[in-house]
Structure 1
């Protein structure tokens, strides 16, 4: 994503605001950020920004398809800019680190639901759980 934050936000059909630019920049620098992470990351740049403004910007980004919200079990909701490729996630059980994993079997939706459900499957969410290299090295 080399385009300017302004251009990305406009292309998503949203109005450019200082909060949206700061939130986008925070997500660019920290994939899988919680709303609290984003707020902490922009507080120095935009001291007058509220947590509600961060939530609003994140919600706008998700609604416009610019960001995705993921919710690994037992973890707060996280936001990422990697959208549209049906990738999956791996979560460290010790430190909570979340990384992306490319689609594990062929093209989207990567998995096939049992026949007879009547559903047209569009995506599959897969979360792998384990221990990250950093935690393995320290244990």
Structure 2
């Protein structure tokens, strides 16, 4: 691989990390408080958690299981199929329809930047929902 490819990839990753800091979906505090450790606004996510209550010995049946926590969803591999002869645009449409990516145009722009538009091959791939566009591209090029 060429040096310019690695420079472009590295700068793209740095830029996307910086943009995610500025455009994250976190809610901004209404009172303007700043977290002294990070100089970021204090949000629900950055507040100190309440101390956990002391653990008591279990008196219930150990076979009982707790209900699943709706906020914690295990990431599960799902199959993604690239049909034979599919273009990068068709692949982006399929990824978007199956919710592997959130923005088709960002995915296509990144594939152009990485010069990967014509390097996708037909087949079945294991992907996780919530991966970055870069990671999706890397997994599809393997």
Structures share a fold, TM > 0.5?
A: no
TM-score, length of structure 1 as denominator length? 0.24
Give the number of the structure whose alpha-carbon radius of gyration is greater: 2
TM-score, length of structure 2 as denominator length? 0.24
Larger strand proportion of the pair: 1
